[in-house]
A and B are shown apart, each in its own frame.
Chain A
């Protein structure tokens, strides 16, 4: 049981390059999320997918796109990277949609550190 797995762990891009961060979970969670973490800014939600087949913008969606490929996988794409997108990105999943114990407890991946030069 790997939990939430995200790749790559580290990436350096030049301004204008594109890349995709991959995320997969094996906990049969219906909801998945992408957060970015910057010093002093906490965890900010970029995009989320409440259930398979749906995606929605979070707090800071500009410059990103997402794809919910299936129930397990949720990818984040930077079409034209900018230095302001230098950050640590976390994928997370939860069993949102269930109001019992454990509802919306986020399980995070290990993070992906992205540097845009």
Chain B
């Protein structure tokens, strides 16, 4: 089955710096890659996602890139702010027919943004 590896497990940056979190997946058939953010004590929430027919997607200060050949995808946060401090999870799934498969999550990255 699919396996998703996520690095680093913890990341500390100064406010205003950029942060990059990387994930690799094992199943080349995976074609949907979301990122979820979980603030302390809260529920995970989707922040951005990308499908395999796209190499990059941006939404304001966050962007996700996908390299299908190498089977890895990354989350980029620019101009980090203290409110970006959270645990970030990457995930992967396979769609077949008209249905999406189950998401397999990475183990998470705890991002700390120091003021």
A106 close to B (CB within 8 Å): yes
What is the chain A residue whose CB lies nearest that of B42?
A110
Min CB gap A27→B, angstroms: 14
Instruction: Establish whether residues A40 and B9, one from each chain, have CB atoms under 8 Å apart when the complex forms.
Output: yes
CB proximity of B95 to chain A, nearest CB, Å = 6
In the assembled complex, the CB of B62 is this many whole angstroms from the nearest CB of chain A, namely 16
Question: When the two chains form their complex, are residues A45 and B44 in contact, meaning their CB atoms are under 8 A apart?
Answer: no
Stretch at the interface among A11-19, A66-74, A96-104: A96-104
How many chain A residues have a CB neighbour from B under 8 Å? Answer: 25
Q: Would you call the interface of chain A mostly helix, strand, loop, or mixed?
A: loop
A contact residues vs B (CB 8 Å cutoff)? 33, 40-45, 48, 50, 58-59, 90, 94, 96-99, 103-106, 108-111
Q: Given A50, A90, A106, A111, which contacts B103 in the complex, CB threshold below 8 Å?
A: A106
Of the listed stretches B13-21, B63-71, B105-113, chain A binds: B105-113
Q: List the A residue with the shortest CB-CB distance to B101.
A: A104
- One of B32, B95, B108 near A42 (C-beta < 8 A): B108
**Contact (Cβ within 8 A) B93 A104:** yes
User: In whole angstroms, how far apart are the Cα atoms of A111 and B42 in the complex?
Assistant: 8
B43 at the interface (CB under 8 A from A): yes
| B52 sits at the interface (CB 8 A) | no
CB proximity of B100 to chain A, nearest CB, Å? 3
Is the pair B43, A99 in contact by a Cβ cutoff of 8 Å?
A: no
User: Which residues of B sit under 8 angstroms from A108, Cβ to Cβ?
Assistant: 43-45
A-facing residues in B16-46 (Cβ within 8 Å) = 32, 34, 36, 42-46
